[in-house]
Chains A and B, each alone.
Chain A
Amino acid sequence: MNMQGRPTRPEEAELIAPTTFTGNRGLDMEEPLIFETGRLDATGVDIDDPEPFASRLGPHERAAPVGLPGLTEPECLRHYVRLSRKNYSIDAGLYPLGSCTMKHNPRLNEKVARLPGFADIHPLQPFSTVQGALELIETLAKTLMALTGMSAIAMSPKAGAHGELCGMMAIKAAIRARGEAATRRIVLVPDSAHGTNPATAALIGFSVRAVPADAQGIVTAAAVKAALGPDVAAIMLTNPNTCGLFEREIVEIAEIVHAAGAYFYCDGANFNAIVGKAKPGDLGVDAMHINLHKTFSTPHGGGGPGAGPVVLSERLAPFAPTPYLGRNGDALVMVEHAEGGQAFGRLSAFHGQMGMFVRALAFILSHGADGLKQASEDAVLSANYIRACLNDLMSSPYGDRPCMHEALFDDRWLKETGITTLDFAKAMIDEGYHPMTVYFPLVVHGAMLIEPTESESKASLDLFIMTLRDLALKALAGDRERFLSAPRLAPRRRLDETRAARQPILKWTKPAPG
């Protein structure tokens, strides 16, 4: 109850919100760049200069200053803590980015990844001193093979796109081994694919031929057949696909691809929907990357690091990159040079993303076979629940049929409102939500791709649904201003992206004096 004549309704409060001296708004604080507050002589690390000694740097010694300011520890903590509070995070709220699988990141995983026996070991230590680390990699490798029903695995790819590169390099090596490198130059990629698929194929000299999806949002065997020929090396197909649908004709597609002498690369970004429900190996897949940072919950970290192990069929297994696990008697070793073998070579400096392996294995062991299956079912159930609760207001491009782990809407329902998908997404920010993935897949106009994951309670899903319904009703009722000016309550309002690209400022430079 308002006892002192103070405004209590938000609209009133906003009207009289004062301009502050600091530019801060309560807990939302402005923070300068470290280059504007740090000093060249300040440091938060106490190190004494060494005793005088005869330098062996010779003529190579740095004379010029680096020009980097430092901060003491309390200043540094405050700087980065203040910055952190300008970020949305899974821990703070539902993060419905379709295709990104923003699920809960268990803290046990962070704890075990920091055990000195994992974090404080060097990739080039003698194998006799890292048997436990190799055991962990072997355990995870075998588990991933069991979950996918595939015969081999390459652990070194560092993220999803790097896994794609690994798989496509193995495919190219296999085609070379058959003596068909000169003729098989085409990779089939559906229009709805992640951009990484065509980019990967092009990186190693393939040309991309597009395959259209049908009116139901899936790639048909007939469409693949029409695109296949003796010049085709492989198809890259995402399953479940980027429209959130299981590719119903996948088995038939695999058969005709193989019959045409080509390979089947599966983009496993959406594996989270089918873990424990189906095995890619049973569907005819030759290679598939697994984003440990999606399906197995290693933290996204504001853009990585990820990890993208690639499972391989028997036909591609001989071409897997070095290094790979082997045995010398009872001892585990990494085979780092494949003498006389068909391995296509090395993909990155060391053995892969060990820190992510530990976290992913902790996640898998915690869930077990039963928990992983339940997680897939809950992810799919939650996406369908959202779809069912919104599809009377928002339009779905492929009609009212069940989806997998993500619900896809288009912008037909906004057509008469003058409000775009982007406006709608920005209004969600004012409601305290991170927007869904927007304008992807590219084949759906004004796409909104919602992936709730298995980590949300029913109460959380219900509030999200009610919020979106409320926004949708306001949009349809013509409350344009709410959307066009959004966000108004975030640390920043909409940014001038054109200016950022036209006059790129990519680092801080010292302002001219005066």
Chain B
Amino acid sequence: MRYLPLDDEDRALMLARIGASRIDDLFADIPADKRLTDLIDIPRRMSEMEVERRLSAMAARNVAAGSAPFFVGAGAYRHHVPASVDHLIQRSEFLTSYTPYQPEIAQGTLQTLFEFQTQVAALTGMEVANASMYDGSTACAEAVLMAHRLTKRKKAVLSGGLHPHYAEVVGALADMAEDDTLRAPPDVLAREDIAASIDDETSCVVVQNPDFFGNLRDLAPIAAAAHAKGALLVAVFTEAVSLGAVRSPGEMGADIVVGEGQSIGNALNFGGPYVGLFATRAKFVRQIPGRLAGETVDADGRRSFTLTLSTREQHIRREKATSNICTNSGLCALAFTIHMSLLGEAGLRRLARVNHANAVALADRLACVKGVSVLNQFFFNEFTIRTPRPAKDVIEALVEKGIIGGVPVSRLLPKSGLDDLIVVASTETNSDDDRAAYAAALAEILS
């Protein structure tokens, strides 16, 4: 077997050194009647060529986003990732290293995490950020738990503009933890008065911007209302590129900011792995979940980085930890950091402008299709359209014409009565031809 360096001669010598007569002597602690005698019923070993052929055949049965005009967002976004990002994250020293528990031989990982934390704090307008969470949705659930700890209250109020999956993740965990969740009804037009739902029991209000339907929201009045009741504002984003064009959550008074970092540096990957971003105020730092890289010096006085404040974490605090998280999204965070370093301020701002311009161009085109209306007043690179036919059927009909046209709202919010809405995204990867093809196909389907 190509991955196993020991041969039978080695094995015999090693068994002899151990003083065992056969390998199963070493497995003697497994109860005899539970020890397997036959091979498990799965195929036997395959060559590299065979495995590649088999998996390539599966891959070929999928429509890759790059092979069609593609307008799907709703929590994950297709962006161009520079070739050097993927090259760098495949370096052995990043790819095949463990969590940096021995900082003397892990400064590469630790310094990049420190850079990541600095970038995330700057983008969100917050004072501190952690070294990443699994994804945006789990970061959101952790933010709610942190707000509970900080306020010693147990009720979270969720905006109707929050991504439905995020609301479900928060809701499932709250249900199990016996906390309260008030989930506002879907708020397609960003007209809800969420501040009115905040009371003296509320630990936090969770609001997404740009929201699930693509609307831009002003979080400042919600922050003020939350603070007046002793509650916190948890601001959520699913499209990190938007932070290059839209006011930061920190500027609008957010206390905890969580988001999905996939769209910088990371591929769509059918939903994972992604990278959760988590930022907050410095005074809350001892309640942050997950890992933190910090600066210090070594015995020679040289600047160095290490994991720190780990007395918050499960391997030290066990049942009193701020979270159970251990492994997070290190390599995806690295991809984020490298892509962000390549973009820089100038590149990020231009990328964001191009995204917005493309989305505006698409919205203008689709609004001209008979029977279609664009519902958003203000948006970044994503918006919602209403169609005269059920959105699910429209999307399927578009697939027949080779176009992946967006996400029917009913897929995430079934039985909400929102069967005629499609969430549509356009990034820098779409050309004007893509947009024209979409509008033409939609017009044909609806004629």
Contacts and interface: CB of A to CB of B under 8 A. Distances in A.
A70 interface: yes
A75 to B, nearest CB: 9
B136 A507 contact: no
B294 A504 contact: yes
A40 B247 CA distance: 19
Contact of B354 (A47, A79, A86, A492): A47
Contacts of A143: 42
A45 B338 contact: no
B340 interface: yes
Interface stretch (B63-71, B197-205, B221-229, B434-442): B63-71
Given A60-B218, A195-B314, A495-B296, A129 B404 contact: yes
Contact of A277 (B27, B128, B380): B27
A347 B169 contact: yes
B60 A492 contact: no
Interface stretch (A5-13, A103-111, A473-481): A103-111
Nearest to A82: B108
A300 B125 CA distance: 30
Residue of A63, A356, A504 with most partner-chain B CB within 10 A: A504
Nearest to A252: B31
A95 B166 CA distance: 37
Contacts of B196: none
B75 A349 contact: yes
A443 interface: no
Interface string B295-313: 1111110101010110101
A240 to B, nearest CB: 9
A123 interface: yes
Given A44-B82, A370-B44, A133 B58 contact: yes
Contacts of B379: 56
B69 to A, nearest CB: 13
A492 to B, nearest CB: 4
A95 B128 CA distance: 32
A426 B19 CA distance: 31
Interface in B349-367: 349-351, 353-354, 356-361, 363
A375 to B, nearest CB: 6
A117 B11 contact: no
A12 to B, nearest CB: 21
A58 interface: yes
A341 interface: no
Nearest to A435: B102
Interface in B94-138: 94-100, 102-109, 111-112, 114-115, 117-119, 121-123, 125, 128-129, 131-132, 134-138
A355 to B, nearest CB: 5
Residue of B54, B136, B313 with most partner-chain A CB within 10 A: B54
Residue of B61, B94, B97, B145 with most partner-chain A CB within 10 A: B97
Nearest to B112: A83
Interface string A192-206: 001110111111110
29 contacts: A45-B342, A49-B350, A49-B354, A66-B243, A73-B84, A89-B94, A89-B95, A117-B61, A118-B58, A126-B395, A128-B396, A132-B60, A132-B62, A303-B98, A304-B273, A304-B330, A305-B330, A307-B272, A321-B172, A336-B412, A349-B169, A350-B75, A356-B272, A366-B46, A460-B5, A495-B299, A495-B304, A504-B292, A508-B115
